Structure 1
Amino acid sequence: MTAAVWLREAADGSVVLTLHIQPGAKKTEFVGLHGEALKIRLAAPPVDGKANAALCAFLADFCGVPKSAVSLVSGETSRAKRVRIDGASAGALARLRALG
């Protein structure tokens, strides 16, 4: 199995995800791959940082980490984002890998 291009494990144990975000969807969910990124639909609108906050909360919940462990690395105002997750368990990483 080849490594997921959109999921990168850093030397410090954190994980960086390359994502494509579709805000304003009916529900928040993982969709699959979009090029070399993992696509996520967000129910939150792309207004006043609401979509970014919803994205971080969704990923924190999925990975079982506190919201403070999820941070936006790049793409604050773009659909293309990179998100860093600190302290994700091996189980959470396995669930993430299974998505793509």
Structure 2
Amino acid sequence: MTIFQVKVKPNSKQQSMETEADGSLKICLKSPPVDGKANQELIQLLAKKFNVKKSEVTIKSGLYSRNKLIEIYQPET
């Protein structure tokens, strides 16, 4: 299980992901922060990046905030 900090910028022109100096991720999303669309795009993007199922990515805190705490369950191999 991995837990990390994410800073989200919705309504961006391009989708991008970069690592900040403090170790958190800065993610730009195309979706607007309406009806959970940006959160759905975030979960989909992180699942693809970490090669896990979308159900294994959880927003632990910050559901309605730009600063989020993300938990990714990665099964032991």
TM-score, with normalisation over the residues of structure 2? 0.88
Q: Specify the alignment match of 2:43 in structure 1.
A: 56
RMSD: 1.9
Q: What is the aligned residue count?
A: 77
Deviating beyond 2 angstroms after TM superposition, the runs of 4 or more aligned structure 1 residues are 34-37
Identity across matched positions, percent: 36
Distance, in Å, in 2 between the alignment partners of 1:51 and 1:38 is 15
Task: Select which of 71, 74, 77 maps to 1:87.
Answer: 74
> Pairwise mapping of residues 1-100 of structure 1 onto structure 2 (< 5 A)?
14-33=1-20, 37-87=24-74
The amino acid that maps onto 2:49 is: F
Unpaired runs of 5+ residues, structure 1, are 1-13, 90-100
TM-score (normalizing by structure 1): 0.69
Any idea what the Cα deviations from partners look like across 1:3-23, whole Å, max 9, x if unmatched? xxxxxxxxxxx0011011000
Q: Give 1 or 2: higher helix fraction.
A: 1
Q: Against the structure 1 CA distance between its residues 88 and 34, is the aligned structure 2 distance closer, same or farther, given a 3 Å change threshold?
A: farther
Deviations 1:45-94 (A, max 9, x none): 111100011000000011110100001000000000011101178xxxxx
Instruction: Give the number of the structure with larger relative contact order, counting CA–CA contacts within 8 Å between residues 6 or more apart.
Output: 2
**Larger Rg, first or second structure (1 or 2):** 1
Change (3 A) 1:27 1:84: same
